[in-house]
Amino acid sequence: MNQPYFIVVLAHSLHGRLRRVHIPHQVLYVVLGLALVGCFSLAGFVSSYARMLWKVANYNSLRTEAESLRARYQKLQKVHDQTTQQLATLQLFASEVSTAFGIKQRVDGPADIAGEGRLVPTFSESLEQYNFLKSASFSRFNRTYSRAWLTNMRPSIWPVDGRLIGSFGQRSDPFSGEPRFHAGVDLGAPYAAPIRATADGIVTHAEYSAGYGKLVVVDHGGGMSTYYAHLSRIDVIDGQEIRRGETVGALGATGRVTAPHLHYEVRVGNNPVNPYSFLAKSAFAKNATKDFPF
């Protein structure tokens, strides 16, 4: 049985010869199918390329927007840090003025004292306060350390016998390279060198604390506290009374550090202030900071 086919006639332009080419239907169908598949493939390739160009354009736009937002964030962070430092300085100044002149808060309100409500404590509050005042711990503290607290409650010595290697304020993060606010100063000294409390106070924190590593926090009263971070050893416990010059631990490299050193902070009202104004009063401050610009 003969199969149906197409005849293609080819004629030579010079010799006038004719040539017939028999093309079966199946071959033509295969050619058309391949052409159709090729068209779909080309359309898919063009569509994929167009989508890729669209994604690249969106990525570039998002990257530009992210860089703009990062620059705005860094600017706002810098303004926030400056405002926080100024607020802490003002709080410190207000505390000094109040302590120096014995300023007491007065009760604001109407002239009629009855409008102020209850002004005296209840019997249970009075009894609780009386029991605290007659307790052995308070009496011992009041007898032995009350005079020392009045003279040694402000940081006035260096926490370690070393050199200043990192300043307070904006600096480049040693891990990411991004600008970052440094809330204290870094002091370099031999590993395991003793770390001393810079003023009288009460230990409020003596344990590991994330990026600070082994951390000791001493509360000096009046909203002032000092931080001693990256310690290799902690020699105090929470609630312990400590005097200026007593050891709180040893220098180390715990937490988020690249080398052993002491991270030292001074905070007023939980806001970091530049510790250099306190360090500069120490006897060996000049030698310890002579190679460091301020």
For residue 111, tell me if it sits in a domain: no
Mean pLDDT score of the chain, rounded to an integer? 78
232 located within any domain: yes
- Please report which confidence band the pLDDT of residue 86 belongs to, taking 50, 70 and 90 as the band edges: confident
pLDDT at 266: 93
How many domains, in total, are found in the chain? 2
For residue 261 the two structure tokens come to: 């050193």
- Predicted pLDDT at 249: 95
Whether residue 262 contacts residue 219, with contact meaning beta carbons closer than 8 Å, is answered with no
Same domain, 268 and 177: yes
For residue range 113-160, what is the model confidence (pLDDT) as tens digits?
445 555 556 666 666 666 665 554 554 555 454 444 556 888 989 999
In a domain, 108, yes or no: no
* Residue 61 pLDDT greater than 90, yes or no: no
Residue 191 and residue 266 in one domain: yes
Q: What is the dihedral of CA 25, 27, 28, 29, to 10 degrees?
A: 90
Instruction: Please tell me whether residues 266 and 168 are part of one structural domain.
Output: yes
Highest mean pLDDT out of 24-28, 35-39, 177-181? 35-39
User: In terms of pTM, does the model score above 0.95?
Assistant: no
Q: Are residues 262 and 172 in the same domain?
A: yes
Residue where one domain finishes, among candidates 98, 124, 152: 98
| pLDDT > 60? residue 106 | no
> How many helices and strands (H and E) does the chain possess?
5, 14
Res. 188: pLDDT tops 50: yes
Q: The domain containing residue 37 runs over which residues?
A: 1-98
Q: Is residue 117 part of a domain?
A: no
Indicate which CATH number applies to the domain containing 182.
2.70.70.10
Q: Which residues pair with 267 in a beta bridge?
A: 225, 272
Residue (of 274, 279, 289, 287) closest to 156 by Cα position: 279
The larger pLDDT score, comparing residue 126 to residue 54, is at 54
Write the pLDDT tens digit of every residue in 245-262: 999 999 999 988 888 999
Q: What is the pLDDT of residue 58?
A: 86
Residue with tokens 């606010």: 181
